Chain A
Amino acid sequence: MTNPNGRFGIHGGQYIPETLMNAVIELEEAYNHYKNDPQFNKELTELFNDYAGRPSRLYFAGKMTKDLGGAKIYLKREDLNHTGAHKINNVLGQALLAKKMGKTRLIAETGAGQHGVAAATAAALMNMECVVFMGEEDTVRQALNVYRMRLLGAEVIPVKTGTATLKDAVSEAMREWTSRIADTHYCLGSVMGPHPFPTIVRDFQAVISKEMKEQLLEKEGRLPDAVIACVGGGSNAIGSFYHFIEDKDVRLIGCEAAGRGVDTFETAATIATGRLGIFHGMKSYFCQDKYGQIAPVYSISAGLDYPGIGPEHAHLHDTGRAEYVPVTDEEAVCAFEYLARTEGIIPAIESAHAVAHAMKIAPDMDMDKIIVITISGRGDKDCAAIARYRGEDLHE
């Protein structure tokens, strides 16, 4: 739960320039007003169901279960949402809120491009202008998503500063917001940044665990033993965990991108290698050097390639309520291929991190145990990059 001052334990807060303070206060007031407004919730539910295709399916992965020989495995199919990932949940919520606030322009950061595509989609639907900041490196890794955003009418600005990845895209979007606030809403894509963003994004993503719980109760008559999701900033993970936080017997497992390994510098595993800091508006754990300079992080997955983690996850880690485990590029790629061959489902390389961890723990669990893995997105966008990882000369 969020404390009144926007804290999760010691984490969170509002470490942002004074220029933005009234903007986040206005956002918080608007959100507190609309979150319990029946008309707002009716419109949002209609968008979720009729436009985004919710509820997403909870699929029993029978072949995978049989092959691994342990716990029963269910997949929460966020990849089947419109635009192909969980990102649409948050974006529809924020775009609707921004519209109610009288904003006419959305700005967003994106890593893999899924949040940018979702933001561009919502902007097209709601007649809003949209500008997406994307690290130049990521525009190359995810060229198809750049095209999709432009096709949807958004302007994509490649960010060349710093490591030219997700963190730099966030910084640039924040800079843009300080220069143009009156008509612009910063549609932040993860459970990070200054309060109230971690709470707003969580609430819009919490539909994942709400449905998961209902669907599993219907299919199995009980709660799962473990819920597994990948974590960058952590929006699909918090969405998957949220309605289980009070159910203490449900293990909550977040899978961080270890890149080439947590003992190398080429990693993005924040809980495994980071320490407490203040960055991008929040107090949380960050990959950084001894002087507090933010470390250049690496993962094969553009969506998990971020040096921090959302403040609520940092708190769930502190209290021991959730576990955070590192998963390497190689493990994720193997899981990507495995799920494609075993279930005929190509997961996003981000989601493949969660699949990889399930593959590690399921065989040692009893056959009456249940794991739910959130497949946060579809993997079409990743095929060329994974082919290249495997040594094939494939370009989009």
Chain B
Amino acid sequence: MSNIGKAFENGKAFIPFITCGDPDLETTAAAVRAAEENGADLIELGIPFSDPTAEGPVIQGANLRALSGGVTTDKIFDLVRALRRDVKIPMVFMTYANVVFSYGAEKFISTCKDIGIDGLILPDLPFEEKDEFLPICRKYGVDLISLVAPTSENRIAMIAKEAEGFLYIVSSLGVTGMRSEIKTDLDAIVAVVRQNTQIPCAIGFGISTPEQARKMADISDGAIVGSAIIKLLEEHGKDAPPYIGEYVKSMKDALR
């Protein structure tokens, strides 16, 4: 068990996603602090991957900017180590299976534990393949976060039963990115989730406005936002952290 549960003790959780190293790690650190100060309950830190197949154009762009800026897994570990001197809210890594596998799963996950990372989200690691990393995650007390999607249907119960930390509900078909409308019957998905697990669930993919966040949090335990924040980094670069702080405040206020 990690600290992830704490993220859901302060009302509905607001969970921002930030790609590490976009445009540089100093900006990432400032953005994380701005998010925490303005009410973020948990932070998803993206370790960039060259070929992020679950991402839409906005987060793909962030991955490429970060990698071309020279960020590496080791530099991101150093960043988190430094952040943990003052950042108290739970933090999880979101990356792709090869980043963990290639680093050496044991070395990667034990380092997560050492530096204060609470969980791991790997969008290309479905239920059937989770044994690739789950035993090591359990050994070090790092939660391997499970995802359910609008197409999961008969799989939701099976996934929810074994979920750890929190359950990530993918709101829509397709890749990450802002959407004007979310049409999936999320109430039905959340109902099955609730029947099968006590752990909190949060909804992500396509959420950008406070209204959407409130709607999503009404039916679940929190809202996850990525592309809208990355968009601020894309627009303002190194000057983005105050804008991110302001945005996080508006989103968390909507959830209170």
Contact = CB atoms under 8 A, between A and B. Distances in A.
A21 B174 contact: no
A18 B60 contact: no
Interface stretch (B148-156, B235-243, B247-255): B148-156
B9 interface: no
Given A22-B155, A175-B174, A277 B98 contact: yes
| Majority-rule SS of A interface residues | mixed
Interface string A149-183: 00000000000011000011001001100111100
A301 to B, nearest CB: 21
A160 to B, nearest CB: 10
Contact of B155 (A21, A167, A286): A21
B60 A161 contact: yes
A168 B102 contact: no
A34 B233 CA distance: 50
A69 interface: no
B126 A292 contact: no
A18 B149 contact: yes
A299 interface: no
A292 B103 contact: yes
Nearest to B75: A291
Contacts of B148: 18
Counting chain B CB atoms within 10 Å of each CB, the highest count among A23, A278, A280 belongs to: A278
Contacts of A14: 126, 128-129
Given A171-B53, A179-B173, A179-B174, A23 B124 contact: no
A21 B99 CA distance: 21
Interface residues of A, number: 37
B102 A15 contact: no
Interface string B123-151: 11111110010000000000000011111
Contacts of A161: 57, 60, 64
24 contacts: A15-B129, A17-B53, A18-B127, A18-B151, A18-B159, A19-B170, A19-B173, A19-B174, A21-B155, A22-B152, A171-B53, A178-B173, A178-B174, A179-B173, A179-B175, A277-B101, A279-B98, A291-B73, A291-B102, A292-B98, A292-B102, A293-B50, A293-B99, A294-B51
- What 7 A-B pairs have minimum CB-CB distances, sorted nearest first? A292-B102, A179-B174, A19-B149, A293-B50, A292-B98, A278-B97, A18-B149
Given A19-B149, A171-B53, A179-B173, 13 more contacts: A15-B126, A18-B123, A18-B149, A18-B152, A19-B150, A23-B151, A161-B57, A161-B64, A180-B173, A288-B98, A292-B49, A292-B99, A292-B101
Interface of B: 49-51, 53-54, 56-57, 60, 64, 67, 72-74, 96-103, 123-129, 132, 147-155, 159, 170, 173-175
